[in-house]
Structure 1
Amino acid sequence: MEERYIPEVPLSSFLRHALDIVKNPLPFHHKNFMEKGDIFSLKLGVNTKVYFCRDAAFAEYVLQKNHKNYTKSKIQTKDLAKYVGKGLLTAEGAHWRRQRKLIQPAFHKKQLKGLLASIEVAILTEYKKVVANKTIDIFPILNDLAFQTVVKSLFSSAANQNDIDRLQYITEAAQKMLVKELRQPYLGWWFSLSGKIEKHLKLTAEARQILSRIVNERRTSGSKQNDLLDMLLEARYEDGGAMEEAQLIDEILILFTAGHETTSNALTFTFQLLALHPEWQEKICQEILVVNTQSEDLMTRVMASTVCTQVIEEAMRLYPPAYFIDRLNIAEDKFNGMTFKPGSNLLLSVIEIHRHPDLWEEPNTFNPKRFSEGSRKFSSQYFPFGAGPRKCIGNNFAMFEMIIAVRELVSRYKIYPKFDDIDITPLITLKPKNAFLKFEKR
């Protein structure tokens, strides 16, 4: 095949728009995709070139077909790992494969069924904060909801509220610090010299102490809670051994980090879109009436909530919390005549693939009906939880949680928008901004 040239964006163009890019890089990405094509490059230094991609076939190739030749970048394997350790999200190679095989059974649908009651209780508790006939920013409520749901699923009632609040504070503080480090790499020396990084490393050490105490209390109590902590404690490697405590705590910290921010973002965008499209609120309500009369079993109700599922899937298409996926290739690779030297930085733009005009009919329109046959129909162009062997292990957990959260809120309130347009802040995840809504009791 003839060698294809990959268009390059001049560094001068990047520098000219640097301040705007720091605030929101997505317009810069979109402009160059439109002008340069579905793959373009940007040289940021003598030996650093980043390839930006919205080619769904190439993304599928990297994430699935030739995934063994690709590894995560240091953003996760080093920068994030220093705060949360080497868990599933940050590990690579044989260590990752061993952990994935060990932990995967805990997230099978049949195992998650036993957690749904705890998830529902956590959600209903947080919804007590919703005030009728008053404009509120829904994101803080949903952020707490998502964290509390992870905690209740992990620890049932074992952890006291002071510990939970402290763990949430530390988790979010570390995330904010990581964002600063990634958005302002030129201030790395100052973050170290001023003690900011050391301060947050001490906070994560405190979180580890809290988690160690909770784990040891569970072990010595001998009680069975049938929560995620029990499942992780009982999990065994092929040699019959259990996870060491340090590794177990790494995995719990990963669940806190990966399991709450993306979910709260997705839920916020979902409710904003429902506020703008009230006809879908009514469709969900009609579905709830039918489903609830057919079964009292919560898992059955969740699995039967197809309209609700379509709404959430469409929200994650338009506003994917994990809006980019980064990879480095180990050996030289070729794809459709393009050559990628070893160690090339690849940035797969999920949000651009999800809105690509060649892949989606009316790509910028909210239309949950497109998922009426399920999301598998779009498996080669729809990656809200990633794809391939490194697809998010908690995707079923997250979907069950979001379905319950949407059902419970929409069945209680009519939702009205108190914002002009859906506003975003692209950080490590795609975060909502100014998500002001008004709720009227049904």
Structure 2
Amino acid sequence: MKKYNYPEKLSIVNFFLDIEGIRKNPIPFHKKYFEKLGDTFSVKIGRTKHLILSRDNEVAQYILQKNHKNYYKSNLQTVYLSKYLGKGLLTSDGDFWLKQRRLIQPAFHKQKMNELVVNMEQIIVSELNNLAEEETVDLFPVMSQLAFNVVAKSLFHLSIAEEKLHRMKFIIEEVQNFLIKEIRLPHKSWWFFLSGQVKKHFQLSLENNNIIQGIIDRRVISKEKSNDLLQFLMDTRYEDTGEGMSVTQLIDEIKILFIAGHETTANALTFTLYLLAKHPDIQQKVWQEISEIESQTNDTVEQLQKMTYINAVLNESMRLYPPAWIIDRQNVVDDTIASYHVKKQTLIGVSFYELHRNPKYWKDPEKFNPERFLGEQKKYSMQYFYPFGGGPRMCIGTGFAIYEMCLTVFKIVKKYKIKPVSGEALFNPLVTLKPVGVEVLFTKR
């Protein structure tokens, strides 16, 4: 008989008493449990199954870096998500994942990102032209539209009609909202099936595939080369066979880039602008950096390389409000993690939201202080910072997202003063940390 030992246990009774609240917003409950039970705790489900939740950096590093080969994505990601998103980087594991990652990585090389910058900048500027001035703006829908168009037009430079874009955005949001319902209300799965909701969302997913397929087909037929991500992805070749990706695979990867690439960025931008509105002194420093940079160069790539303070502001905003706020893994074989001996197939969650606010690693964790990500302090902070995950599976689009967010903050603060309207920033922790009713006011500088 193997002896397993698990972290401090949360009583299943307490867990079930809280379950309705947890379903609506797990974060306050996680906080309460961590404060009571320590940085890692477990819940026993059934006779032998355990679930572990942690905000301990040692646990995070172990499952994401040191022993990542033993930690696969959980069924939540591989089964639920892949049903609608297909088998792309986000939803696959093992050898297939590695093969895809190696294939796609070069498309996100810094050199390639630099080629996309001019196009990206134009899209951002045109999106911001319609910003409402001197009136209350609900930030998330505006940032969501901006981020969606940046991804869409960076992927398919000019080859997509506006109504198709709107349709894709609608489908992605519909499918995602339904997915959350499926994950959070497993006891209603029979009803979702019988009432035709599963079928309806699967059809929407197929419609999305067809739109993307149409764009790819037109690109192949026209033989035009375009400076966009689609072209980079179509041009990549597997090392062993020298062949490109199949069209099905290409569609799956593009869908993942859409989903992973627009909402997370929109979340991060929303919270960043909200924090800048709340801290006019920090906003002023951003503005000073912008003036300084513009006096030195008007080359966008060079400007991006000089945005040290803007970068620190974004990092500190993603520390407080990490877009991908939680990650989960399952161990393939029995393992010892920190001092716990855990059985294979244990579901382990790491809350980046809590790790980023853990007083063990952060001084004044609730305070917005971009200085944490400057100079010497930056080296320290980076050890406990996971805005894009960590280890070999770290988000492939990190460079793309940082460029897009830096440029957006640059363009907004250059033109506007941002003033606060709403009180606390509210959010809904879905697959990502989604802002709710976060409002500001833009006034011309």
Q: Does 1:361 align with 2:378?
A: no
The equivalent position to 2:383 in structure 1, one of 371, 380, 384, is 380
Q: 1:296 to 1:194 in 2, by over 3 A?
A: same
Q: Does 1:432 align with 2:435?
A: yes
Find the counterpart in structure 1 of residue 373 from structure 2. Answer: 371
Counterparts of 1:60-99 in structure 2, within 5 Å, are 60-99=61-100
Task: Work out whether residues 103 and 232 of structure 1, in 8 Å CA contact, stay in contact via their aligned partners in 2.
Answer: yes
Question: 1:115: Cα distance to partner?
Answer: 0.7
Deviation per residue, 1:379-404 (Å, 9 max, x gap): 43111100001000000100000000
Q: Which moved more, 1:163-172 or 1:395-404?
A: 163-172
- AA at the equivalent of 2:286: I
Task: Work out whether residues 4 and 342 of structure 2, in 8 Å CA contact, stay in contact via their aligned partners in 1.
Answer: no
Task: Work out whether residues 129 and 141 of structure 1, in 8 Å CA contact, stay in contact via their aligned partners in 2.
Answer: no
* TM-score of the superposed pair, with normalisation by structure 2: 0.97
- AA at the equivalent of 2:315: E
SS in 1 for 2:129: helix
Q: Which moved more, 1:399-408 or 1:331-340?
A: 331-340
Residues in 1 aligned to 2:215 and 2:202: alpha-carbon distance in whole angstroms: 20
Deviation per residue, 1:174-198 (Å, 9 max, x gap): 1111111111111111111111111
Question: 1:47: Cα distance to partner?
Answer: 4.6
Residues in 2 aligned to 1:16 and 1:37: alpha-carbon distance in whole angstroms: 20
Q: Does 1:108 align with 2:109?
A: yes
* TM-score of the superposed pair, with normalisation by structure 1: 0.97
Residues in 1 aligned to 2:133 and 2:236: alpha-carbon distance in whole angstroms: 45
Deviation per residue, 1:27-58 (Å, 9 max, x gap): 11111111111110012334542101111011
Residues in 2 aligned to 1:136 and 1:279: alpha-carbon distance in whole angstroms: 21
Residues in 1 aligned to 2:47 and 2:131: alpha-carbon distance in whole angstroms: 53
Find the counterpart in structure 2 of residue 254 from structure 1. Answer: 256
Structure 1 gap segments, 5+ residues each: none
Residues in 2 aligned to 1:149 and 1:377: alpha-carbon distance in whole angstroms: 32
Q: Which moved more, 1:374-383 or 1:284-293?
A: 374-383
Residues in 2 aligned to 1:164 and 1:276: alpha-carbon distance in whole angstroms: 34
- AA at the equivalent of 2:421: K
- AA at the equivalent of 2:28: P
Q: 1:3 to 1:80 in 2, by over 3 A?
A: closer
Find the counterpart in structure 2 of residue 342 from structure 1. Answer: 344
Deviation per residue, 1:92-142 (Å, 9 max, x gap): 111100100000011111110111112112212221231111011011010
Q: 1:205 to 1:4 in 2, by over 3 A?
A: closer
Residues in 1 aligned to 2:230 and 2:441: alpha-carbon distance in whole angstroms: 37
The equivalent position to 1:412 in structure 2, one of 415, 418, 431, is 415
Deviation per residue, 1:288-328 (Å, 9 max, x gap): 11111211210110111111000000000000011111000
- AA at the equivalent of 1:65: K
Find the counterpart in structure 2 of residue 326 from structure 1. Answer: 328
Residues in 2 aligned to 1:161 and 1:47: alpha-carbon distance in whole angstroms: 53
Structure 2 gap segments, 5+ residues each: none
SS in 2 for 1:17: helix
Find the counterpart in structure 2 of residue 401 from structure 1. Answer: 404
Aligned CA RMSD, in angstroms, stands at: 1.4
Find the counterpart in structure 1 of residue 286 from structure 2. Answer: 284
Q: Does 1:263 align with 2:265?
A: yes
Find the counterpart in structure 1 of residue 55 from structure 2. Answer: 54
Question: 1:378: Cα distance to partner?
Answer: 3.0
SS in 2 for 1:32: helix
